[in-house]
Amino acid sequence: MQAHKPISDGHSWYAEPMAPVPERPRLTFDLDVDVCVIGGGLAGLTVAREVARRGWSVALLEAQTVASGASRRNVGFVLPGFLETIDRIIERVGMDQAKELWTLSERGVEYVRETIRDTNMPGVTPADGWLQVAKFRHDPALNKTATLLSEQFGAQVESWSAEQVGAVLKSPLYRNGMHFPRAFTVHPVNYVQGLAAAAEQAGVRIFEHTPALSLDPAGIRKRIGTPSARVRAAQVVLAGNTGLEGLMPRLAASLLPVTSYVVTTVPLGDKLREAVTYQGGVSDTDFMDNHYRITGGDRLVCSGGLTTWQSDPKRFVRRLARDIRRAFPQLGSVAIDHVWSGTTGSPVHKMPQIGEIAPGVWVSNGYGGQGYNTSAVAGELIAAGIVEGDESWRAFSSYDLVWAGGKTGRSAMQVYYWSCRFRDRFHAVFNNAPDAP
């Protein structure tokens, strides 16, 4: 690898070309509102905006600044579906409910698209398409899933042959693929900041540097304590991702915190433009996944590596650079400009936590590695539930709050990730992948 010191100050590459962001106040006075939302990421901002659009008063409390968590650190793939596979969803809830859930997941994608369009959101640079490709050998499961989704669920999805994949990704590793033309990618920071502006436009009052420290959910008016003031609200929405341990331990215990790592290469010029002509997001699947796309014209942003604790992102620079080189040996040893990590909570069942868990206490959480469409649809469902008494959110009630196993659960999941990585390396060697470790 070329000698090049990556920037690793906790900020993502996306924090650099960012649209201007306003300073928002701390909460310093007691407040009475209809709804108090805790957490200012994709989940909290969407539900707050949707409640305010329906005419109710909303205060949103953010412990740090808007989107200081996973929502500013992701790779910006806006995809239909869920973290859980469609086969396992059908197995658990049956075909009819699985179809309902899939339709909601697609609605989430459209919500993001409409929000960008309706608010003329600056700097989001949407690029169409998501291509999931098989690594090392043909994967019949991708074709099977594409057929199921298009024939039974009416989804817009295509099976791609190895030749079709090879025409847009010049990689010796890839075989067949599954293509979602209506998925797209966004600039994560500009989207979430645009969403915050849209929420404020709808009337949401956002207070930054205002952690919710306590919650008394009893009674008609819930009480939320912050360092220097108190909020009273008829309804509370918990949207703090992995940060809710102090407020609601049971909810926090139902999430496995998973950290993943992202790098951005230096500009790679024509070499990259020739290797990758696909402009949307790409996920290459095997035992371990990498997700990548072109950004800034001729850089590659690539995520991979999962740990159940927060490791130093710099430790993942060599590994992700090697993953890129294995996929595209013609790029040579790529230098990395930025590296960062993000943590997000994943429930054991890999489905989001959406709904009312006690009278007037709602949850929009547990989005794992797929937060755009799921948090968007949750925002609409929960707002309709709060304001209109609509019960469509119950489509998710088959997926309860399940204990994630505490430290034992984390260790077991880490061992599973390591075994996936090991099998991935084994296949790289077995299949003579270039630069195999």
Q: How many Cα atoms occupy the beta-carbon half-sphere of 407 within 13 Å? A: 0
Rounded to whole angstroms, the Cα distance separating 263 from 292 reads: 9
Nearest distance from residue 291's CB to ligand FAD, in Å?
Answer: 6
What does the buried/exposed string (b/e) look like for 428-437 if buried means 16 or more CB atoms within 10 Å of the residue's CB? beeeebeeee
Min dist. Cβ of residue 258 to ligand FAD (A): 8
236 to 265: interface string for ligand FAD, x by CB under 6 A: ---xxx-xx--x------------x-x---
- Contact call for residue 305 and ligand FAD (CB under 6 A): no
| Least distance in angstroms from the C-beta of 212 to ligand FAD | 4
- Taking the C-alpha atoms of residue 126 and residue 106, their distance in angstroms, rounded to an integer, is 17
- Ranges within 374-393 binding ligand FAD (CB under 6 A): 375
Closer by beta carbon to ligand FAD, 235 or else 344: 344
Quick one: 59 or 331, whose CB is closer to ligand FAD?
59
Q: Torsion over CA of 373, 376, 378 and 381, rounded to 10 degrees? A: -120
Q: In this chain, which stretch among 27-35, 174-182, 292-300, 360-368 interacts with ligand FAD, using CB under 6 A? A: 360-368
Smallest distance, ligand FAD to C-beta of residue 136, A: 23
221 Cβ contact list (under 8 Å, min separation 6): 32, 232, 233, 234
Between CA 351 and CA 367 the distance in angstroms is 7
Distance CA 398, CA 69 (A): 28
Which one of 6, 80, 129, 369 is in contact with ligand FAD (CB under 6 A)? Answer: 369
Binding to ligand FAD by CB under 6 A, coded x per residue (else -) over 16-45, reads: ----------------------xxxxxxx-
Instruction: Say whether residue 344 binds ligand FAD (CB under 6 A).
Output: yes
Mask 399-418, x = binds ligand FAD (CB under 6 A)? --------------------
Binders of ligand FAD among residues 89 to 128 (CB under 6 A) are none
Distance of alpha carbon 376 from alpha carbon 112, whole angstroms: 7
Task: Report the nearest approach of ligand FAD to the CB of residue 44 (Å).
Answer: 6
DSSP β-ladder status, 230-238 and 361-365: parallel
360 binds ligand FAD (CB under 6 A): no
Q: Which of residues 138 and 318 has its CB atom nearest to ligand FAD in the complex?
A: 318
Residue 346 interacts with ligand FAD (CB under 6 A)?
no
What is the Cα–Cα distance from 212 to 198, expressed in whole angstroms?
A: 23
Rounded-to-integer distance, Cα 78 and Cα 111, Å: 10
User: What is the nearest approach in angstroms of ligand FAD to the Cβ of residue 435?
Assistant: 24
**Cβ neighbours of residue 409 under 8 Å, at least 6 residues apart?**
256, 348, 403
Instruction: Name the minimum Å distance from CB 78 to ligand FAD.
Output: 6
Structure tokens at 170: 């010049």
Task: Compute how many residues bind ligand FAD; rule: CB under 6 A.
Answer: 42
Contacting residue, 47, 61, 90, 178, with ligand FAD by CB under 6 A: 61
8, 57, 68, 392: which one contacts ligand FAD (CB under 6 A)?
A: 68
Residue 389, burial from CB neighbour count under 10 angstroms (0-12, 13-18, 19+): exposed
Query: Quick one: which of 37, 53, 76, 199 contacts ligand FAD (CB under 6 A)?
Result: 76
Amino acid at 397: S
Sole window of 150-158, 159-167, 318-326, 369-377 interacting with ligand FAD (rule: CB under 6 A): 369-377
Report the alpha-carbon distance of residue 338 to residue 261 in Å, rounded.
Answer: 11
Site for ligand FAD in 152-211 (CB under 6 A): 211
Q: Decide if residue 371 touches ligand FAD (CB under 6 A).
A: yes
Question: Segment near ligand FAD (CB under 6 A), from 148-156, 235-243, 267-275, 421-429?
Answer: 235-243
What's the helix, strand, coil split of the chain in %, to 5?
A: 40, 25, 35
How far apart (Å, rounded) are the C-alpha atoms in residues 419 and 309? 17
Closest distance between ligand FAD and the C-beta of residue 91, in Å? Answer: 23
Alpha carbon 432 to chain centroid distance?
33
**Interface positions with ligand FAD (CB under 6 A):** 38-44, 61-64, 67-71, 73-77, 211-212, 239-241, 243-244, 247, 260, 262, 303, 342, 344, 365, 367-372, 375
